[in-house]
Amino acid sequence: MTVWDDCQGILGVSFNNCSLLTQAFVHSSYLNENPDFGLASNERLEFLGDAVLDFVVAELVYKEFPELPEGELTGIRASLVCSRSLVESATLLKLGDWLLLGRGEELSGGRMKPSNLADTMEALVGAIYLDQGLRRAKRFILKQLKPSMKRIRRGSMTPNYKALLQEFVQSDKHSPPTYHLVEAIGPDHERRFTVEVFVGDQVLGQGTGKTKKSAEAEAAKSAWRNLGAKQDFPEFASLHQES
């Protein structure tokens, strides 16, 4: 049994073209040291896999939660395909074991780096899609999402809007969101906090809660919904104009 046979056994996917499977695990650092390897890095597969994931998960949450409005569906979808979720799936599948890394990346703990694991998970989805089509890729994705979907249905998992907002804002090359206390009113046992969340000097949302932490979470949720109203986050149009 080869290393890739072992990998396919754990994934539950038998590839027709094993070169696609191998490419899903090729980190760019490996090619820097092995320029004649014969395969490209996994970056293009990652790009494709990201799009396939978004589509499959969007269809899933649309069908699973017919009562929810667009903003709530967007939050659930984003929580299922965010880096943290992808890393969790990649870790369970032990994807780091098969990564092809350059020596420096290997020595710096590249097999366990969240960014490498998330990227590899997306690349693997892209490879499955190219090798066996959307139906097989969808089956693979839904299998990985099953535990998270169970938690969402039970109500024990809700979108982490602070994490989602930070990941989205920073992916758009902006500084991280900051939270500012606007007011704290009422007696100690019934304190109410109001918080605003900023990117740069622009207010994206406001929230109120019994603690500063819960107020920040509500502010992030408000910001997420406000951004979602801008045609599903194409860009921060007003922020770009100011920068």
Q: What is the pLDDT along the chain (243 residues), one digit of tens a residue?
A: 578 999 999 999 999 999 999 999 999 999 999 999 999 999 999 999 999 999 999 999 999 999 888 777 887 888 888 888 899 999 999 999 999 999 999 999 999 999 999 999 999 999 999 999 999 999 999 999 988 888 887 765 667 788 778 877 877 677 889 999 999 998 888 889 999 999 888 898 999 999 999 899 899 988 887 876 554 444 444 444 443
What is the pLDDT at residue 158?
67
Residue type, 175: S
Q: Rounded to an integer, what is the distance from CA 69 to the centroid of its chain?
A: 21
Q: Which amino acids are annotated catalytic?
A: 50, 122
What is the pLDDT at residue 153?
79
What is the pLDDT at residue 165?
84
Collapsing DSSP states into helix, strand and coil, what is residue 148? helix
Residues 6+ positions from 63 with CB-CB distance below 8 Å: none
| Structure token pair of residue 166 | 């930070």
What is the pLDDT at residue 63?
93
What is the pLDDT at residue 89?
93
Tally of CB atoms within 10 A around 124: 30
Confirm if 131 and 14 have CB atoms less than 8 A apart: no
C-alpha torsion sign, points 183, 224, 199, 171: positive
Domains and CATH numbers, the chain: 3-154 (1.10.1520.10), 161-242 (3.30.160.20)
Residue labelled with tokens 């819960």: 214
